[in-house]
């Protein structure tokens, strides 16, 4: 069982979500986040006061998958989240020990 | 029978003609008087009394009766015309007063509220709103009297305290065609917005209790004398017979210079906000500021065109100058910002419009549209540089640019009024025979610039020195600045116990 975390451009959320649903991913958690990678931020000017905004709004997707569908999901994200410009984000994959459905206490891949 | 019929017909015709003549002679004067005083209940009631003279006079002495009748009719007409003019002028002045109140709340409250951080938006709005209440009370108790009762050259007497003798009768020295009470209402709205403008300078760090005391003292010792000097009967800067006749149509010196200079003194005295200028403090909602600025623009028509104190062509001319001045300044600021910053901002555009409205205020009733264009454009560019460059060179924290926009915009406007004022627009100066004299430099009166300069100097000095004294007094008694923890927490919670945006509840 794996956790796939993808940090993507806010404008790509819909495309990524639809592509994931097509590959059969049932659930996902989406959050609006702020952060920066190597890209850093932009400047805003209010009446001549210049502010550097280095924490940029992004979308974080979290999905939990059985090992055998992880690569498919990653491909779907790569295909739809990529604009080719700096700031497209990153994908992190990690091992998950257990998943439990609260309603009926199912465990493992059944709970996903 | 057949012989008698023609007589009957003739008799009937005569009767009909007589009836028609009677009806005609009654209906004509009625139609005339109604045309001259349309739709005013008060006028009709008065005019109905002496309309039909007692008929016996017509039989006894027709010639004397006619003269008396004509005389009486003329008197009635005169009164009706006066009352019709009062109805027209009064409705515009009252509507204008409401527009000027709209400038403070919600106009200025939104404009300033959007510019602060979200933890201080309610405190900032409260600072404007509470002045709508405080100044109203001090105004009816003694403020109006100190401004507009005949006192000495510097301040008014107490003859109008508690609004005694301020009623339906016009005060011909100020506004001969509206009740003096209307004049007092209109001027009240100016006395409210002027101190509210200062709050932009000490936003996010002034104690509310200190603000209350400060503003009461400020109104008494700065606004009231300045308004009396420039606009009051016997004021020594008055354009109507003052020692140094100054042109200030709607409050360049009285409103914008006094508030702008006091703002600078407050910003210097209170010091910078914690974290300024290293911590970012961007406006928490430019949307609110936009709505506020647009309301200010609309309200300013009451401010300037209402200052004609009548509904005639002078109000129209001031309205036009106001519109052109605001538009030109919006373009001036936007253009300067576009060139220097590569991107024209909405906040810049609306700030420019406000700067233009400030600058055109003293000139609005004395200049035509082309002069208004020049004044607005100058103000937009000058204020842009004050706010975005000069402020940073000196490093003071005039948080919402009350000095940069009102102090500088007001000074630019007051001086340019001395350049562009024209007797063609408004014959404000007259010689002994009642002929109009030239007003400004372009009109052939170069000396006026000197007068304007003196008035500007007096406004700067009065506001600067007295504000410092008041701040010292308030600081020694209640303390002007909030505690460090409260400032970090935000004034909404620390001073007022509430928060602006509780979306989760």
Task: Pick from A32, A43, A46, A50 the residue to mutate for testing the B interface (most B CBs within 10 Å).
Answer: A46
Write down the pLDDT at residue A53. Answer: 83
**Strand ranges in B129-173 using DSSP code E only, listed in sequence order:** none
Q: 3-state SS string over B222-248? A: HHHHHHHHHHCCCCCCCCCCCCCCCCC
Write down the pLDDT at residue A72. Answer: 94
Write down the pLDDT at residue A7. Answer: 96
Interface of A with B in 70-89 (CB under 8 A): none
Write down the pLDDT at residue B164. Answer: 96
Distance from CA of B109 to the nearest CA of A (A): 19
Tens digits of residue pLDDT in A44-59? 889 888 888 888 899 9
Return all residues near B127 (Cβ < 8 A) that are at least 6 apart.
Answer: B112, B196, B199, B203, B206, B208, B211
Task: Pick from A34, A43, A47, A53 the residue to mutate for testing the B interface (most B CBs within 10 Å).
Answer: A47
Task: Compute the average pLDDT of residues B463-473.
Answer: 98
Mean pLDDT of chain A: 92
Contact B341 A45 (CB under 8 A): yes
Which pTM does this prediction carry? 0.83
**If residue B322 lies in a helix (H) or strand (E), which one and from where to where?**
helix B313-341
* Per-residue pLDDT band at B4 (split at 50, 70, 90): low
* Per-residue pLDDT band at B6 (split at 50, 70, 90): low
CB B359 within 8 A of CB B409: yes
Tens digits of residue pLDDT in B302-354? 999 999 999 999 999 999 999 999 999 999 999 999 999 999 999 999 999 99
Listed range (B31-45, B312-326, B400-414, B429-443) with the worst mean pLDDT: B31-45
Task: Report whether pLDDT(A112) > 90.
Answer: no
CB A11 within 8 A of CB A23: no
A48, A51, A53: residue with CB nearest B388: A48
Residue ranges covered by each domain of chain B: 1-33, 80-496
Give the CA-trace dihedral at B44, B49, B53, B54, to 10 degrees.
150
Tens digits of residue pLDDT in A29-47? 999 999 988 777 788 889 8
Write down the pLDDT at residue B27. Answer: 42
For domain B80-496, give the CATH number. 1.10.3430.10
Interface of B with A in 360-389 (CB under 8 A): 384, 387-389
DSSP helix/strand/coil, B386? helix
Task: Compute the average pLDDT of residues B250-263.
Answer: 97
Write down the pLDDT at residue B243. Answer: 93
Q: What tokens appear for A24 in the block? A: 């059969």
Write down the pLDDT at residue B31. Answer: 39
Task: Compute the average pLDDT of residues B28-45.
Answer: 38
Write down the pLDDT at residue A102. Answer: 95
Task: Report whether pLDDT(B43) > 60.
Answer: no
Task: Compute the average pLDDT of residues B361-369.
Answer: 97
CB B463 within 8 A of CB B257: yes
Q: What is the distance, to the nearest Å, from the Cα of residue B476 to the centroid of all Cα atoms in its chain? A: 35
DSSP helix/strand/coil, A29? strand
Task: Report whether pLDDT(B5) > 60.
Answer: no
| Check: complex ipTM more than 0.95 | no
Write down the pLDDT at residue B76. Answer: 96
Give me the domains of chain A, ranges plus CATH numbers.
2-111 (3.30.70.120)
Full DSSP string of A34-69: EE-SSS--EEEEETTEEEEE-SEEEEEEEEEE-GGG
Please give the residue that has the higher pLDDT: either A85 or B486.
Answer: B486
Task: Report whether pLDDT(B1) > 50.
Answer: no
DSSP helix/strand/coil, B181? helix
Which residues of chain B make contact with A49, given a CB cutoff of 8 A?
277, 281-282, 388
Which residues of chain B make contact with A47, given a CB cutoff of 8 A?
347-348, 351, 387-388, 401
């Amino acid at each position: 069982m794996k956790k796939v975390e993808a940090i993507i451009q806010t404008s790509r959320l819909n495309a990524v979500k639809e592509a994931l649903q097509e590959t059969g991913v049932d659930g996902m958690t989406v959050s609006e986040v702020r952060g920066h990678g190597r890209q850093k931020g932009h400047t805003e000017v209010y009446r001549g006061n210049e502010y550097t905004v280095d924490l940029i709004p992004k979308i974080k997707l979290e999905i939990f998958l059985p090992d055998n569908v992880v690569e498919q999901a990653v491909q779907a994200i790569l295909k739809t989240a990529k604009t080719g410009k700096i700031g497209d984000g990153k994908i992190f994959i990690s091992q998950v020990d257990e998943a439990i459905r609260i309603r009926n206490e199912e465990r493992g891949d059944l709970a996903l | 029978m057949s012989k008698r019929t023609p007589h009957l017909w003739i008799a009937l015709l005569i009767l009909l003609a007589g009836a028609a003549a009677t009806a005609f002679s009654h209906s004509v004067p009625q139609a005339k008087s109604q045309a001259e005083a349309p739709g005013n209940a008060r006028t009709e009631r008065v005019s109905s009394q002496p309309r039909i003279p007692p008929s016996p006079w017509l039989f006894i002495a027709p010639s004397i009766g006619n003269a008396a009748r004509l005389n009486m009719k003329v008197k009635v007409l005169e009164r009706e015309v006066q009352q019709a003019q009062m109805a027209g002028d009064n409705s515009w002045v009252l509507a204008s007063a409401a527009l000027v109140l709209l400038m403070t709340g919600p106009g200025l409250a939104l404009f300033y509220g959007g510019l602060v951080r979200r933890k201080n938006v309610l405190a900032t709005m409260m600072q404007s709103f509470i002045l709508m209440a405080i100044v109203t009370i001090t105004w009816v108790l003694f403020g109006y009297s100190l401004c507009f009762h005949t006192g000495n050259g510097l301040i008014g007497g107490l003859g109008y305290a508690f609004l005694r003798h301020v009623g339906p009768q016009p005060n011909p020295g100020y506004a001969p065609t509206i009740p003096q009470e209307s004049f007092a209402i209109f001027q009240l709205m100016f006395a409210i917005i002027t101190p509210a403008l200062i709050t932009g300078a000490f936003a996010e760090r002034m104690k509310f209790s200190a603000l209350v005391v400060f503003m009461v003292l400020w109104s008494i010792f700065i606004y009231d004398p300045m308004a009396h000097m420039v606009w009051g009967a016997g004021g020594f800067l008055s354009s109507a017979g003052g020692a140094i006749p100054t042109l200030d149509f709607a409050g360049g010196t009285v409103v914008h210079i006094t508030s702008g200079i006091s703002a600078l003194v407050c910003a210097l005295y209170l010091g910078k906000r914690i974290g300024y200028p290293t911590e970012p403090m961007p406006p928490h909602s430019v949307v609110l500021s936009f709505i506020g600025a647009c309301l200010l623009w609309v309200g300013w028509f009451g401010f300037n065109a209402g200052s004609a104190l009548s509904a005639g062509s002078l109000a129209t001319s001031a309205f036009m100058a106001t519109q052109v001045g605001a538009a030109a300044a919006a373009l001036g600021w936007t253009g300067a910002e576009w060139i220097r910053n590569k991107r024209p901002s909405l906040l810049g555009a609306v700030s420019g419009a406000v700067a233009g409205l400030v600058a055109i205020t003293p000139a609005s009733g004395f200049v035509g549209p082309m002069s208004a264009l020049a004044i607005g454009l100058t103000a937009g560019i000058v204020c842009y540089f004050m706010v975005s460059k000069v402020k940073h060179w000196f490093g003071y924290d005039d948080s919402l640019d009350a000095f940069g926009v009102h102090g500088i915009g007001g000074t630019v406007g007051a001086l340019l009024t001395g350049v562009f004022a024209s007797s063609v627009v408004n014959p404000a100066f007259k010689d002994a025979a009642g002929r109009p004299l030239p007003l400004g430099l372009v009109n052939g009166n170069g000396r006026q610039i000197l007068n304007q300069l003196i008035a500007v100097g007096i406004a700067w000095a009065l506001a600067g020195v007295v504000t410092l004294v008041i701040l010292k007094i308030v600081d020694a008694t209640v303390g002007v600045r909030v505690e460090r923890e409260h400032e970090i927490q935000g004034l909404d919670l620390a001073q007022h116990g509430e928060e602006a945006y509780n979306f989760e509840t």
